[in-house]
C-alpha cells in the first residue's frame, strides 16, 4: 500500500519523475496474469528522459495486455536496461497510438530479451506508430532467434520427360526437371542410319517396361542348335510295271494251240483261226512285269532350337536436355547401354561414344538341311499285282479288227478254254481289246549311303554398339 501511495505522489510531481521511474520498475510482477490491461494514458514526458530502469525478471505474460493510449517521450529517451526481460507466453496488444519518441532514443540493452520456451503470440501494433526520436535507440547486441522450419511448399505438377516441354511450369523441361533425374539420363543421339538410343539386357523373354517400345528379341549364332539331317536311302513307287494279257486261239473246240498273242495295247488285230466256223480261245491270268524305282534319300530333320539371348528396349523419341547436343531417354535398371543399332554387320560409328560392338541376329533362318541320294540305288520291282476292274479281266473279241462293231465273245483271264463261232462276215481278222488288268503296288529294295546336305543359317544380322 505504501508503494501505491508513493506512485501517486510521483505522478503529481514532474520533479520526482526519475524516482518514480525507478520505483515503477519495482512493480514488475512475476507469475501469469489473467489479462493485463494497459494504462489509460502513458506517463507525461519528463523534462529530460530518466535513465532507463533495468528489465524485470522473466515474468509470464498474460493472455493479452492492452497497451496505453499514447505516452509522451522525454526530451532524451531513457537508457535501456542491461538485459531485456524474458518474453511472456503471449505478447500484449499494442496501444492505439504509439508514444512520441524523445529527441534522442534510448540506448537498447546489451542483450535482447530471451524468448519463452514457446514464443507467445505477437502483440498487435498500434494504429499509428509512435514518432521516433531524433536519433533512434541502439538495438541489442544479439537479436532474437528465428523460427525453426518454414512451411511446406505446394505440390508441383507432373512432368512428361520425353516431349521437349516444361509440363509442370517449374522452368525445367524433361531431364532438367527433378522428376526426371532419377529415371532418365542425357545421351548422345544415334547418328544418321542408326536406330536408338536404347538398352540391352539378358531378359530376352520379358516385355520392356513403359515408356519403352515393345521389346526387340536379339539372337546370337552361338546359341543356335540345328544339327545335320539324319539320312537313309529309299526308293520311290515303281514306275513302268505292266500287266500283259496272252490270248491263244485255235480252230475247233479244244484250245490245242500253244501259240499266243501278247496284248499290250488297248486294241490288237488277231487272225481268225477258222473264219465262219467254230473257234476256241483262252487268256492266261495276267502277271506284272517290268518297271523300276527311282532312288531317293530319306531325311530326318529336327526343328532348329534358337533361344533369344537378349532384348533391346528403345524409345521412339527422346526429350530435352540442358546440353542441346544430347537427348533425354529413360534408364533401364541393370541393362547395358545406352546403345544404338543398325542392320547388317557394321562397324561402330567413328567419333561417337558407342564403341562396344556385339553382332546379333533377328531370329530368321534359311534352313536348307537335307540329304543327297547320289550314293543310293534301287533293286527290281517286287510285290506288284494286276487288278481286274470290277472282277472283269480278260479280252473282248470284236467282229472288226479295229475293235469296232459288236463283241463276238468275251474271254476271261482265267486260263479256261472258251469255244464260240465266228460271225462269218468274211473278215479274216478280229479286234482283240484288253479289259482290266491294271498294275498296282510293288516296291524296290534300296541300297547305298545317303549323305547330309545344307544347313540352317541366319537370314539377317544386326549390329549393336553400346557405350562402354
DSSP single-letter state for residue 104:
B
Q: Cell match 527290281: residue? A: 380
Residues 346 and 359: their CA atoms lie apart, in Å, by: 8
Give the closest residue to 390 by CA, choosing from 370, 374, 408, 412: 412
Residues 18 and 25: their CA atoms lie apart, in Å, by: 11
Burial status of residue 61 (CB atoms within 10 A of its CB: 0-12, 13-18, 19 or more): buried
Asked if residue 342 lies in contact with residue 192, where contact means CB atoms within 8 angstroms, the answer is no
Grid coordinates representing 265? 495295247
Whole-structure pTM over 0.85, yes or no?
Answer: no
Asked if residue 328 lies in contact with residue 211, where contact means CB atoms within 8 angstroms, the answer is no
Predicted local distance difference test score (pLDDT) of residue 22: 38
Predicted local distance difference test score (pLDDT) of residue 389: 67
Predicted local distance difference test score (pLDDT) of residue 390: 63
Give the C-alpha distances (Å, rounded to integers) separating 467 from 190, 321, 347.
Answer: 12, 19, 14
Give the closest residue to 411 by CA, choosing from 290, 274, 263, 289: 263
Give the closest residue to 340 by CA, choosing from 319, 315, 376, 377: 315
Asked if residue 130 lies in contact with residue 101, where contact means CB atoms within 8 angstroms, the answer is yes
The total number of residues shown for the chain amounts to: 468
DSSP single-letter state for residue 19:
H
Predicted local distance difference test score (pLDDT) of residue 259: 83
Q: How confident is the model over 181-226, as pLDDT tens digits?
A: 899 999 999 999 999 899 999 999 999 999 999 999 999 999 999 9
Name the β-bridge partners of 286: none
3-state secondary structure of 7: helix
Asked if residue 301 lies in contact with residue 245, where contact means CB atoms within 8 angstroms, the answer is no
What count of Cα atoms within 13 Å lies in the side-chain half-sphere of residue 383? 9
**Rg over CA atoms, the chain:** 62
Low-confidence ranges of the chain (pLDDT < 70): 1-156, 389-391
Predicted local distance difference test score (pLDDT) of residue 451: 97
Predicted local distance difference test score (pLDDT) of residue 352: 95
Asked if residue 260 lies in contact with residue 286, where contact means CB atoms within 8 angstroms, the answer is no
**Percent residues over pLDDT 90 in the chain:** 56
**CB neighbours (10 Å) of residue 435?**
19
3-state helix, strand, coil in the chain (%, to 5): 5, 30, 60
Grid coordinates representing 439? 498294275
Predicted local distance difference test score (pLDDT) of residue 156: 66
Supply angle C-alpha 89, 95, 98, rounded to 5: 120
Q: Cell match 557394321: residue? A: 346
Interhelix angle 2-11/17-25, nearest 10 degrees: 140
Predicted local distance difference test score (pLDDT) of residue 201: 96
Predicted local distance difference test score (pLDDT) of residue 98: 36
DSSP single-letter state for residue 389:
G
Q: Parallel, antiparallel, or unpaired for β 278-283 and 195-201?
A: unpaired
Grid coordinates representing 23? 520505483
Sheet with 417-421, edge to edge strand ranges = 261-263, 245-251, 278-283, 417-421
Residues 312 and 358: their CA atoms lie apart, in Å, by: 12
DSSP single-letter state for residue 17:
H
Predicted local distance difference test score (pLDDT) of residue 442: 96
Task: Please give the backbone phi and psi of residue 202, each rounded to the nearest 5 degrees, phi first.
Answer: -80, 5
Grid coordinates representing 69? 493510449
Amino acid at each position: 500500500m505504501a508503494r501505491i501511495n508513493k506512485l501517486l505522489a510521483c505522478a503529481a510531481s514532474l520533479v520526482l519523475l526519475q524516482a518514480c521511474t525507478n520505483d515503477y520498475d519495482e512493480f514488475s510482477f512475476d507469475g501469469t496474469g489473467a489479462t493485463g490491461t494497459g494504462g489509460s494514458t502513458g506517463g507525461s514526458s519528463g523534462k529530460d528522459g530518466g535513465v532507463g530502469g533495468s528489465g524485470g525478471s522473466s515474468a509470464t505474460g498474460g493472455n493479452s495486455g492492452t497497451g496505453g493510449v499514447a505516452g509522451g517521450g522525454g526530451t532524451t529517451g531513457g537508457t535501456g536496461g542491461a538485459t531485456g526481460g524474458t518474453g511472456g507466453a503471449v505478447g500484449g496488444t499494442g496501444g492505439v497510438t504509439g508514444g512520441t519518441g524523445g529527441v534522442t532514443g534510448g540506448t537498447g540493452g546489451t542483450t535482447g530479451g530471451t524468448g519463452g520456451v514457446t514464443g507467445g503470440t505477437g502483440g498487435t501494433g498500434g494504429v499509428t506508430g509512435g514518432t521516433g526520436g531524433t536519433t533512434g535507440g541502439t538495438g541489442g547486441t544479439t537479436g532474437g532467434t528465428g523460427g525453426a522450419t518454414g512451411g511446406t511448399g505446394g505440390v508441383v505438377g507432373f512432368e512428361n520427360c520425353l516431349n521437349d516441354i516444361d509440363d509442370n511450369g517449374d522452368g525445367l523441361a524433361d531431364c532438367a526437371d527433378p522428376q526426371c533425374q532419377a529415371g532418365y539420363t542425357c545421351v548422345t543421339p544415334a547418328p544418321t542410319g542408326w536406330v536408338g538410343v536404347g538398352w540391352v539386357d539378358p531378359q530376352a523373354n520379358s516385355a520392356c517396361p513403359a515408356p519403352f517400345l515393345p521389346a526387340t528379341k536379339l539372337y546370337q549364332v552361338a546359341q543356335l542348335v540345328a544339327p545335320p539331317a539324319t539320312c537313309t536311302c529309299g526308293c520311290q513307287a515303281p514306275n513302268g510295271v505292266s500287266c500283259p494279257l496272252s490270248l491263244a486261239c485255235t480252230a475247233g473246240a479244244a484250245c490245242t494251240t500253244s501259240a499266243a498273242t501278247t496284248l499290250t495295247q488297248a486294241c490288237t488285230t488277231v487272225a481268225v483261226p477258222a473264219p465262219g466256223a467254230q473257234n476256241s480261245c483262252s487268256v492266261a491270268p495276267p502277271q506284272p512285269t517290268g518297271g523300276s524305282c527311282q532312288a531317293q534319300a530319306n531325311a530326318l530333320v529336327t526343328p532348329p532350337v534358337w533361344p533369344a539371348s537378349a532384348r533391346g528396349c528403345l524409345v521412339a523419341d527422346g526429350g530435352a536436355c540442358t546440353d542441346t547436343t544430347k537427348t533425354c531417354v529413360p534408364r533401364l535398371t541393370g541393362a547395358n547401354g545406352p546403345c544404338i543399332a543398325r542392320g547388317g554387320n557394321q562397324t561402330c560409328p567413328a567419333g561417337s561414344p558407342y564403341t562396344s560392338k556385339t553382332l546379333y541376329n533377328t531370329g530368321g533362318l534359311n534352313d536348307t538341311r537335307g540329304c543327297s541320294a547320289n550314293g543310293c540305288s534301287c533293286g527290281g520291282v517286287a510285290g506288284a499285282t494286276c487288278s481286274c476292274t470290277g472282277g472283269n479281266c480278260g479280252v473282248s473279241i470284236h467282229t472288226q479288227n479295229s475293235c469296232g462293231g459288236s463283241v463276238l465273245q468275251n474271254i476271261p483271264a482265267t486260263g479256261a478254254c472258251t469255244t464260240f463261232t465266228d460271225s462269218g462276215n468274211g473278215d479274216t481278222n478280229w479286234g482283240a481289246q484288253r479289259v482290266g488288268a491294271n498294275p498296282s503296288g510293288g516296291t524296290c529294295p534300296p541300297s547305298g549311303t545317303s549323305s547330309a546336305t545344307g544347313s540352317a543359317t541366319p537370314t539377317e544380322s544386326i549390329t549393336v554398339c553400346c557405350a562402354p
